[in-house]
């Protein structure tokens, strides 16, 4: 075993080419771009799979909890109207605290396009046109 190691070391020391240059692969742009596309397709597929699995916290709105409206009252403070089943709760949200302000006796009507997800709906319409 020692003889094999010493023979290999002597062969490396006497070779005229550096060790790193002997097996350096050529850069192939096609393979690089193909690998990049494969990774991007894999990321898109995994995102689609996560949405299809409907894990808690990944998908929203279908678990009985929905933000109906929200009003910004400060730089990081807002008042949020949340629909929980048949009830609506008015909640105050700050960076340090979340507290229930009141429970509404007569719930406000929930409009599908107002406030919640408006940007997402507009983007979806634009993407369907193309």
- Cα 77 from Cα 82, distance rounded (Å): 16
Q: For the segment 45-92, what is each residue's pLDDT rounded down to a tens digit? A: 998 888 777 655 554 545 678 888 888 898 989 999 998 888 899 999
Instruction: Tell me the H-state helices in the chain.
Output: 2-14, 19-22, 29-53, 118-129
pLDDT at 7 over 60: yes
Domain boundaries, the chain: 65-104
pLDDT at 32 over 80: yes
């Amino acid at each position: 075993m020692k003889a094999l190691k010493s023979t290999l070391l002597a062969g490396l020391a006497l070779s005229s080419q550096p060790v790193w240059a002997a097996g350096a692969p050529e850069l192939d742009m096609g393979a690089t771009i193909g690998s990049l596309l494969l990774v991007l397709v894999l990321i898109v597929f995994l995102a689609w799979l996560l949405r299809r699995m409907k894990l808690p916290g990944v998908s929203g709105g279908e678990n009985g909890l929905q933000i109906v409206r929200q009003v910004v009252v400060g730089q990081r403070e807002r008042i949020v109207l949340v629909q929980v089943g048949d009830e609506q709760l008015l909640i105050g949200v700050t960076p340090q605290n979340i507290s229930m302000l009141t429970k509404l006796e007569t719930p406000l009507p929930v409009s599908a396009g107002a406030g919640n997800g408006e940007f997402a709906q507009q983007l979806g319409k634009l993407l369907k046109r193309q």
